[in-house]
Structure 1
């Protein structure tokens, strides 16, 4: 692979935007524009409405999507009877702008979808997930049609599929065929919805206790395609770390922001690093590396929770971590990482001069930017590999 391919940092469109900003107000204008962009990503709000009949598992789904156990403080209340009497907001513990709303059940005989949507203030949600643990019924179909009329998107989720699989395995010991059973469940759901007037319904089969199985990846990819870019990034970063696929997508989101972080770190409030030809705002880098750890579930709290969930000592999970995570991310740690990255950063300098000349000339000849970029990219690569090793160690199986 060419070095310029490995360090393809910024798109041609972004280069032109930077040039335009530089022409208007110099380097401060460029840094300000980039900071605005990062803030808009950081502050992107996503509101997901979860509804269905009582006992369908909607509250458990809310908890799982937030990386919270049913018994944790702040978890959505679960139970076979209706525990949700009004829309209840549950913010993601690490991404407070991502909110899952547990809506009241829709199982009442006199259910009126138009009144229900007004009651729950439908306009505040980006999309709806309609959950059923058995058959989809008239109320699901009525609500879906009304949501569509209001110009919002909705997705049908058939929950507790793991229970159906287990029951079928016990009943059909010789003729058990998981793929066939899943197809029967899916077709039954589609038939029920079509009978109630829903055209070409798509149903996702899920288990909140085995979220990495069945159709969760299909649902995630559908939402990813249909959400605006900033909301999509917020959604991806908030997902529970249950598969290699999700970890890789998080890495791509974070990687796309590295050049922006390197630019504002080296372009505003620069502080020379002793012993290096680098000047940057180390506090920005400390915050960025800390967020990397949190997004990959490699902070202490997340590791302890995962160890408890899989009933393993947390030391077992930490034993496969190779990046310098056993110590808190601090100014000193970042300075050491920058020192380590200094040689690698030189490989990026030529690319910076040829592709982003305003950076090359504006930030200590591009060396500060190149070193900072290389450090962030290297650390992100190491964390991504660590997260995959931890996941495999936790479940002792390819995921």
Structure 2
């Protein structure tokens, strides 16, 4: 009875049947929901830099989108996320070039492919950007104006003594909005720098996307973004937490199958797969931590390695305590399944409770480590 009550509370459903159906949908969608983000605008405005920043890829690394002051993207280029291949960022050619004139741009880049468009400008939004926005709107798709390289403008204004950071940001924003208003376009403008997503309006852009995207696609986006603040980490944690009970329900179904060893093997694989996603999404892998350590000049990698779970995950393994718990539960399940019908129900309950506990334990430990990383890096 306690297991059933826990299942209904976790799912928010009124019946076991609806809860189990919901759980299966969640698990099936974990890796199947696709998200295609188009980054567009004129040539040389920093589109490729933004593509790299969203994917957490640095210069010279595998999958780095080529950047440059001249046109470097000749055709729509797909960049799958390094650890979530169902999320794809598309670097589109610059609008208004000889090969991609504004009048035929939408048809050439295949507008139907994308879930939404980010229109990037490094100065003011020009005629081609505005024409692009109007065409996207006609196709009933969403677009977002992003003013890039804001950090450079702020630094230049401060260095010249012509304005503070606050004054410069207000001037840039007001200029962009006035520019759009002249073309009868009412839309917010998000000021960002691809060098540091924690600055300026990137979080505001994410909040806006939350209201426009369906929850499944928004979850995919949230988990794919690099951790750039405590708030972004908390949102990732909440998103992952929603999946814990669903995975445990699927585990319960496997636990009821009277096949010796099946439950342990499946539960272990399921937990490892889930925590591997968490491990990478929280930026706890060696590659991500090394980059962060170099950036903030702190020995973050060594500190994080104190976590036994992080050590195990770096080797694509579970910690010994987790394997012990799953193994003990598997033993109980095997014995329970020797009793017809009632035994299967007991086995399912044991599998559900144990797997949920191990998943939550792992998620909480990795979350705690990631919070410590942010504190060491002074990212709030």
Q: What SS is found at the alignment partner of 1:369?
A: helix
Q: Bigger shift: 149-158 or 363-372?
A: 363-372
| Cα 1:280–1:94 shift into 2, 3 Å | closer
Please state if 1:324 is matched with 2:295.
no
| Cα 1:227–1:373 shift into 2, 3 Å | same
Shift of 1:368: 3.1
Once residues 63 and 57 of structure 2 are traced to their aligned partners in structure 1, the CA distance between those partners, rounded to angstroms, is 8
Given that 1:237 and 1:250 are in contact with CA atoms closer than 8 Å, whether structure 2 keeps it comes out as yes
Q: Which residues of 2 match residues 237-386 of structure 1 at below 5 A?
A: 237-268=223-254, 281-313=267-299, 315-318=301-304, 322=307, 324-327=309-312, 328-330=315-317, 333=320, 334-336=322-324, 338=326, 362-364=345-347, 366-386=349-369
Q: What TM-score do the two structures reach when normalised by structure 1?
A: 0.81
Once residues 124 and 202 of structure 1 are traced to their aligned partners in structure 2, the CA distance between those partners, rounded to angstroms, is 24
Aligned residues: 361
State the 4+ residue runs in structure 1 displaced beyond 4 angstroms.
5-9, 109-112, 269-273, 311-314, 337-341
| Cα 1:222–1:153 shift into 2, 3 Å | same
Q: Bigger shift: 78-87 or 37-46?
A: 37-46
Given that 1:267 and 1:280 are in contact with CA atoms closer than 8 Å, whether structure 2 keeps it comes out as no
Partner of 2:202: 216
Q: Which residues of 2 match residues 1-399 of structure 1 at below 5 A?
A: 9-13=9-13, 15-16=14-15, 18-19=16-17, 30=20, 34-108=23-97, 112-172=101-161, 176-198=163-185, 200-268=186-254, 281-313=267-299, 315-318=301-304, 322=307, 324-327=309-312, 328-330=315-317, 333=320, 334-336=322-324, 338=326, 362-364=345-347, 366-393=349-376, 395=377, 397-399=378-380
Once residues 96 and 164 of structure 1 are traced to their aligned partners in structure 2, the CA distance between those partners, rounded to angstroms, is 34
Q: Bigger shift: 224-233 or 366-375?
A: 366-375
Q: What SS is found at the alignment partner of 2:10?
A: coil
Q: What SS is found at the alignment partner of 1:268?
A: helix
| Cα 1:157–1:187 shift into 2, 3 Å | same
Given that 1:95 and 1:238 are in contact with CA atoms closer than 8 Å, whether structure 2 keeps it comes out as yes
| Cα 1:196–1:95 shift into 2, 3 Å | same
Shift of 1:80: 0.4
Given that 2:43 and 2:97 are in contact with CA atoms closer than 8 Å, whether structure 1 keeps it comes out as no
Shift of 1:309: 3.9
Once residues 159 and 72 of structure 1 are traced to their aligned partners in structure 2, the CA distance between those partners, rounded to angstroms, is 22
Given that 1:55 and 1:82 are in contact with CA atoms closer than 8 Å, whether structure 2 keeps it comes out as yes
Q: What SS is found at the alignment partner of 2:358?
A: helix
Given that 1:323 and 1:386 are in contact with CA atoms closer than 8 Å, whether structure 2 keeps it comes out as no
Once residues 384 and 272 of structure 1 are traced to their aligned partners in structure 2, the CA distance between those partners, rounded to angstroms, is 34
Once residues 390 and 8 of structure 1 are traced to their aligned partners in structure 2, the CA distance between those partners, rounded to angstroms, is 35
Q: CA RMSD in A?
A: 3.2
| Cα 1:388–1:12 shift into 2, 3 Å | closer
Given that 2:300 and 2:373 are in contact with CA atoms closer than 8 Å, whether structure 1 keeps it comes out as no
Once residues 208 and 215 of structure 1 are traced to their aligned partners in structure 2, the CA distance between those partners, rounded to angstroms, is 11
Once residues 107 and 311 of structure 1 are traced to their aligned partners in structure 2, the CA distance between those partners, rounded to angstroms, is 42
Given that 1:49 and 1:101 are in contact with CA atoms closer than 8 Å, whether structure 2 keeps it comes out as yes
| Cα 1:20–1:265 shift into 2, 3 Å | closer
